[in-house]
Amino acid sequence: MKNGNLQKTTELLAPAKDKETAFSAIDCGADAVYMGAPAFGARKNASNSLEDIQEVVNYAHKFWARVHITLNTILTDSELDAAVDMVYKLAEIGVDAIIIQDMGLLERLMSKSAPTPTLPYGEGSVKPLDKHLHLPPLHMSTQCDNYLPEKVKFFNDIGVSRVILARELSIEQIKKIHEGNPDLELESFIHGALCVSMSGQCYLSQYIGGRSANRGECAQPCRKQYDVIDEKGNVIAKDIYPLCLKDFNGSKYVNELINAGICSFKIEGRLKDTGYVKNIVAYYRNLLGKGSSSGSIAGKSADREGEVVRRTEGDAWSYPFTPNPEKSFNRGFTEYFLKKRSKCFSMESPKSKGEYLGKIIEVNKGCFVIETDTEIHPQDGLYFNNDGCLVNKVVVEDLSIRDSAHALTIHRGVGIKIFPNKKVNISIGDEVYRNLDVEFEKELAKPVKRQIGAFVTLNLFQGLAKKCEEIQDSKMLKQVQHDRVVLKITDEDGVSISAEIPSTEIAKNPEKMKETFVKQFSKTGEGDFYIADIKIAHDVEIPFLPISGVNELRRTLFDKLMQKRIEVYEGNRQYQKPLKHTKYFLSEVDYRANVHNLEAKTFYENCGVKVLESSFETKQPNRQIELMRCKHCIKYALNMCKSHKNLLLRDSHSQIYSLKFNCDTCEMSVQIPD
């Protein structure tokens, strides 16, 4: 590649509900962001206008960061034209990938035809794809139920660019999938909330209230309260959250996942706020190192308020806050099935716990004492027993005990006396967590600015250096030394530009001129670049420039360098390779294939498959079917693995759902009521 190094390393992919969150994710070190299109995304409340997406693309590409756009819902026949048109509008904007679920959309993109992009959605005749308009890489959403190796290989054979794997896979399973598809990009979730159902295979929300998860409208019935009963109606567990999972945290296994073949780590959270995204991105950026895109971090220093300070060293990224996932929304963490089955469930509550503080050692009227070494602040939020409170007042107590008989002090730690903002039901021995740290939130709110390192050199124009050695006359030598001085800027990715410094007057005080030049040229402020180093050759005397001249020269050259960076990025952009139909690994599919339009049916038929029925959203099958299939097991969670009892769920409306357990595959399904 010419002038620049677009190295391919493991991608850190961050969620963004809006452009502000996207900017923050990029500034905190994300290699890529994913965000919703104006429509057809799996988070209906996280859509973005084309204008906002354009702004994010323009900003991201400065740092060689990428923008992925989600169109990952199933589509009706009437929506398909608009969705295809949307893809090509996004291609014109310059997005770097499209995430899709619907096979009808894939079929239309394979046929390389679309409604005229300049017409309103859904109008216009079909015409061949403009040969000058390249299709961005297509990524198959995890909503495609990418769990079986056969499914992943099928998509690879079709020719898609990337498959986003099911969350339920182990590292060993991922490794085998990679070995079978060594050239296919594999993306894996690394952090965030977990859907209890295998993605794309949950119909519970649609069944209960007509809000389809596959259409971006999930009502999250998995976070609701149920009774677990047996077939005789006996209560096994009352008022629990048996389908609620902890949040995923795979940070311990990033190296193993990279070795298994993962090229992109995805943080879940397109509905999360900016503070959450900043904290989690910063945490994984430090964990993964510099990454594949450019930039370093500048932020507001805690001890030098108001100044922008360089806060990086090598591959370690630093921020005006200390990244800590426990301080952001979480229901407790699980590694899920990366290694083996674990206690991945949070059956006592779907609320955020936060970070563990300690246990209650004393309860008094209007206050209680926590044994902890962690500092607690007024207005912090505490969680305990599926309840919580805000802190009104804090008193620190020394819990040390004086043993007079042995003339020593036994240090038991620190007791924090908490005066809550309301009456709480709490007992000695209860565990207390903090789900709002007000001081951390203040640090998190400080601005962070990503900047690209630039190395500046000043040399005589080629050939003049040797000429200087031959000149004996000092006056003539001075004239040559200030004539045709070349300034070269090379950024940290190897992109460079050169320009001659305007020479109209010899500096009367060369040393002072050099000092002024270095000082003024280094004043990049909160721009996209910072000066990492300036080297001036010994035989160079900088011609006289007023301060305004140096400033203008700096602005002009950095504008040109950024333009050159964008050109290098665009010249190395990846596009979707040609797609082709291939034989599917099943001969027939049912409602679980989510065939929601005629083009999707055509797609499967072109791949040798008989479509037995349309999607659940189109027509509910008139037979006993599963509404959800998952690796989470309620029997395991209730220590009933060896029990032969048939378990059922009863919701708050007394609706009963039977459960089926497949111990051979270690899976559970929630069945449609009889």
Looking at domain 347-444, its CATH superfamily turns out to be Probable tRNA pseudouridine synthase domain (2.40.10.230)
Per-residue pLDDT at 119? 38
Q: For residue 238, what is the DSSP state?
A: E
pLDDT of residue 316: 52
Instruction: Read off the tokens for 420.
Output: 């809550």
Distance CA 165, CA 496 (A): 39
The H or E element that residue 535 is part of is strand 529-536
Counting as low any pLDDT under 50, the low residues of the chain are 1-2, 113-129, 131-132, 299-315, 402-403, 406-411, 464-467, 471, 481
- In CATH, what number does 11-194+246-293 get? 3.20.20.380
- For residue 542, give both structure tokens: 């900088």
Q: 406-415 long-range CB contacts below 8 Å, 24 or more apart?
A: 412/371, 413/371, 413/372, 413/373, 414/371, 414/372, 414/373, 415/361, 415/362, 415/369, 415/370, 415/371, 415/372
The CA distances from residue 622 to 80, 567, 673, in Å, are 27, 57, 11
Report the pLDDT value the prediction gives residue 473, as an integer from 0 to 100.
53
Three-state SS annotation for 476-519: HHHHHHHCCEEEEEEECCCCEEEEECCCCCCCCCHHHHHHHHHH
Beta partners for residue 310, in sequence order: 298
Residue 289's pLDDT is: 86
Domains of the chain, residue spans:
11-194+246-293, 347-444, 450-571, 588-671
Chain segment 566-580, per-residue pLDDT in tens:
999 999 999 999 999
Q: Which two tokens stand for residue 147?
A: 């769990």
**Measured distance between the N- and C-terminal CA atoms of the chain, rounded to whole angstroms:** 63
- pLDDT of res. 361: 94
What was the pLDDT predicted at 120? Answer: 40
| Cα–Cα distance for residue pair 134/68, rounded to 1 Å | 15
Run of H or E including 554:
helix 547-571
- How many residues in total does the chain contain? 674
Q: Which residue has the tokens 């395991």?
A: 636
Per residue in 544-556, pLDDT (tens digit) is 999 999 999 999 9
Question: What's the CA gap between 75 and 80, in Å, rounded?
Answer: 6
Amino acid identity at 119: L
Question: Hey, what amino acid is at 246?
Answer: K
Spatial distance between the Cα atoms of 342 and 337, rounded to a whole number of angstroms: 7
Q: Which of 157, 101, 109 is nearest to 595 (CA)?
A: 101
Contact (CB, 8 A) for 649 and 659: yes
Q: Identify the pLDDT of residue 299.
A: 46
Q: Decide if 503 contacts 532 (C-beta within 8 A).
A: no
Name the burial class of residue 75, with classes exposed (0-12), middle (13-18) and buried (19+) by CB atoms within 10 angstroms of its CB.
Answer: buried
